[in-house]
Amino acid sequence: MVIDYTASWCGPCKFMEPIIKTMASKYTDVGFVKIDVDKLSDVAQEFGVQAMPTFFLLKQGKEVEMVVGAKKDELEKKIQIHRVV
């Protein structure tokens, strides 16, 4: 599962939005969840999110990777490593 911590005012988040949609279509075996840090600030705070976008990769309910920033290639590489096929 990929959790995308984002904000409506965040330029890099807007850049990543179509990329995340493409990845979600490509990796149908991976769940993608988008969390707006302004609407769910308590959740973002609990996970220690300090910059947007921040992506957490979870496997069997546990965090296995984190990507901070609009690093599409790094994110996709980590998805490929951790997905269950």
Q: Can 55 be counted among the known catalytic residues?
A: no
Query: Which residue out of 2, 3, 7, 13 is catalytically annotated?
Result: 13
Query: Which residue out of 10, 49, 67, 79 is catalytically annotated?
Result: 10
Residues with Cβ within 8 Å of 65's Cβ and at least 6 positions away in sequence, in order, are 56, 57, 78, 81, 82
Please choose, from the candidates 66, 30, 70, the residue with its C-alpha nearest in 3D space to the C-alpha of residue 48. 66
Q: Can 10 be counted among the known catalytic residues?
A: yes
16 phi/psi in degrees, rounded to 5: -80, -20
Residues marked as catalytic: 10, 13
